Each structure stands twice: as structure tokens, then as C-alpha cells.
């Protein structure tokens, strides 16, 4: 049986929306913040154009690698990005599918990020990932300011 979960969150950042958009679409920025607390990104590629590839490895604090592959479905610089991605299990089988929409709106000299992430899967691994999805996204977005320093 397929399980689905949606996370919706909003955060304010003291940075222009162009910088947030770049943080979501450029590999050199994604590798600094994407993933829950304690995770690192040892490998990341991002071809930010409709149909462009997103592929990254999230390494957990205990050294386990979680590969995510996806595609940028829609980009409206610097206002919105829509990404479809999947996570595979250790054998390369599809474990989880996720659609991530991030919008960036100017707000009081900074930017309001609105995130909507919907994921689904039917395996035991997918159900475990879905259980931690809300906390994982909150921790991930908490790390975003580390990628917002001016170049």
C-alpha cells in the first residue's frame, strides 16, 4: 500500500529572492545546505532548466549514502522552482517519489520562502522516510542560511 505525506512550511530570510533561487538551483550552493542536520552532500549536480537533471548524494552522520535523482520540471527565476525526484534503495530500486515546490516572494526587504513537498512510497524504507519527512524538511530549511552569504 502506497503511503503519502505532504509538508508545507514558510520561512522568512534576510536575503534577496535571487539568492534563495540560486541556493535551490546551483550545485555549489545546494551542497552546503541540502539535507537534514548532520548530513553532508559529497556529490551534487544541478542543471537548472526545465528537464535538467538534479542528482545528489546525502551522507548521513553515520556515513550511509542516500542518492536522490530528479529533474527540474519548472523554473520561474527568481520566483519559483518545481522539482520531481526519487530516492532509490541500496539495490537501485525506486523507494520514494517526491515533488518539491519552492516559491520566493519579496517580503519586508527579505524573502519569504514557501515550500510544499509531497512524497510517496510503499516500501518499509519509504514509510520510515515519510515518518521523518516533516522534521527532515524543517532541519533542511534551517540550514539554508549557510548558502545565502553573498558570493
Q: What is the pLDDT of residue 84?
A: 98
Question: Residue 151 domain-assigned?
Answer: no
Specify the CATH number for the domain of residue 105: 3.30.530.20
Identify the pLDDT of residue 95.
85
Domain count, the chain: 1
Would residue 32 count as lying in a domain? yes
Distance between CA atoms of 50 and 54, rounded to whole angstroms? 11
In a domain, 96, yes or no: yes
The set of cell numbers assigned to 82 is 518545481
Output the pLDDT for position 91.
77
Predicted structure pTM score: 0.94
Contact 95, 121 (CB under 8 A): yes
Question: Distance between CA atoms of 83 and 25, rounded to whole angstroms?
Answer: 10
Full domain range(s) for residue 67 = 3-145
Residue pLDDT, tens place only, 91-109: 777 889 999 999 999 999 9
Which tens digit of pLDDT belongs to each residue from 105-140? 999 999 999 999 999 998 888 888 899 999 999 999
Amino acid at each position: 500500500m502506497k503511503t503519502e505525506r505532504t509538508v508545507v512550511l514558510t520561512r522568512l530570510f534576510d536575503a534577496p529572492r535571487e539568492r534563495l533561487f540560486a541556493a535551490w538551483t546551483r550545485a555549489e550552493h545546494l551542497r552546503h545546505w541540502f539535507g537534514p542536520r548532520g548530513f553532508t552532500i559529497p556529490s551534487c549536480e544541478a542543471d537548472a532548466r526545465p528537464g535538467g537533471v538534479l542528482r545528489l548524494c546525502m551522507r548521513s552522520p553515520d556515513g550511509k549514502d542516500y542518492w536522490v535523482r530528479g529533474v527540474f520540471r519548472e523554473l520561474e527565476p527568481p520566483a519559483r522552482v518545481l522539482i520531481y525526484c526519487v530516492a532509490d534503495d541500496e539495490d537501485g530500486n525506486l523507494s520514494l517519489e517526491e515533488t518539491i515546490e519552492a516559491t520566493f516572494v519579496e517580503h519586508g526587504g527579505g524573502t519569504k520562502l514557501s515550500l510544499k513537498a509531497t512524497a510517496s512510497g510503499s516500501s518499509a524504507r519509504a514509510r520510515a522516510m515519510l515518518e521523518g519527512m516533516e522534521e527532515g524538511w524543517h532541519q533542511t530549511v534551517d540550514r539554508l542560511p549557510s548558502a545565502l552569504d553573498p558570493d
